Amino acid sequence: MNASPEQQRLLLDVADLDRRIQQAERLRTQPAGGARINELAALRQSQLRDLTALTGTRDDAVAELRRLEADVAVVEQRRARDAERLAAATNPKDAQALESELASLARRTSDLEDQELEVMARVEEAEAAVAAQQALIDATTAEGTELTARAKADVAAATTEGEQLSRDRAAVVARVDAALLADYTRRAARTTGAALLRQGTCEGCRMVLSGIDLTTVRNAPADEVVSCPECGCILVRTEESGL
């Protein structure tokens, strides 16, 4: 196939635009931080499950504390009532029975208050664990929110860049001969399509051409479309080719 050197050089612009369009598309569909965002989402779900368990433990302790407080209140009411009855008692047996019950109620109050102290310590510990877990969730959420906002901005920027690059490409390919463009497109499906031959090296696959291959390229007419023997892309010759 033949094409003017100027036409072949246009393919370098097309190949560069295709490369940049592919980069923009990768940024649009796979924004930086995407993997971390997914990791944080899974982490947050795990942390929320842990928070649910810790909250349940705290709520159970709070419920137990309230039950003890209610029991203490009931005992205190009975002690107050018995104390009033003892003060008004005239029968020695009744007085002795009330004194015995008051002593028993005092022991019961002491036991309940000891239990209260123990449960209060558990409530405090559980509340601290809940607060610490919530802090972890808040940190995870904050990082996820920041990364998501950044990813959205990157996707928007990549989308805009891709659209502009596509317009630029359309303007360039409009100047390329249809047959040459079709040849480039066929090759681009499996390689870079077209690349500069710079100082005897294919810029597409970075292979240094052998002496025989360089001689073949050197002897080819300027309007002949030559290929890289390694990757098969169109080798575009310029003054940088070292021929």
Residues 136 and 183 in one domain: no
Q: Is the pLDDT score of 235 beyond 90?
A: yes
pLDDT of amino acid 165: 97
Q: Is the pLDDT score of 129 beyond 90?
A: yes
pTM for this prediction: 0.71
Predicted confidence band at 100 (pLDDT cuts at 50, 70, 90)? confident
**pLDDT over 90 for what percent of the chain?**
86
pLDDT of amino acid 85: 85
3-37 tens-digit pLDDT = 999 999 999 999 999 999 999 999 999 998 999 99
Residues 80 and 188 in one domain: no
In Å, how far from its chain's centre is CA 87?
73
Q: Which domain holds residue 122?
A: 27-173
Is residue 212, in this structure, part of any structural domain at all?
yes
Give the chain's count of helices (H) and strands (E): 5, 4
Is residue 242, in this structure, part of any structural domain at all?
no
186-212 tens-digit pLDDT = 999 998 999 999 999 999 999 999 999
Q: Is the pLDDT score of 214 beyond 90?
A: yes
Question: What are the residues whose beta carbons fall under 8 Å from the beta carbon of 174, sequence distance 6 or more?
Answer: none
Average pLDDT over residues 36-40: 95
Residues 100 and 195 in one domain: no
> Residue 136 in contact with residue 45, Cβ under 8 Å?
no
Quote the number of domains for the chain: 2
Predicted confidence band at 243 (pLDDT cuts at 50, 70, 90)? confident
Is residue 243, in this structure, part of any structural domain at all?
no
pLDDT of amino acid 41: 96
Is residue 43, in this structure, part of any structural domain at all?
yes
pLDDT of amino acid 95: 77
Positive or negative, the CA dihedral 29, 34, 37, 41 is: positive
Q: 66 or 93: which carries more pLDDT confidence?
A: 66
Q: Is the pLDDT score of 178 beyond 80?
A: yes
Residues 232 and 116 in one domain: no
Residues 47 and 17 in one domain: no
**pLDDT over 70 for what percent of the chain?**
100
Average pLDDT over residues 223-234: 95
Residue 203 to residue 228: CA distance in whole angstroms: 10
Q: Is the pLDDT score of 98 beyond 90?
A: no
Residues 138 and 233 in one domain: no
Q: Is the pLDDT score of 162 beyond 90?
A: yes
pLDDT of amino acid 93: 82
82-95 tens-digit pLDDT = 888 878 877 888 77
Question: What are the residues whose beta carbons fall under 8 Å from the beta carbon of 138, sequence distance 6 or more?
Answer: none
Q: CA–CA distance from 98 to each of 72, 102, 107 (Å)?
A: 19, 6, 14
3-state helix, strand, coil in the chain (%, to 5): 75, 5, 20
Is residue 122, in this structure, part of any structural domain at all?
yes
Is residue 127, in this structure, part of any structural domain at all?
yes
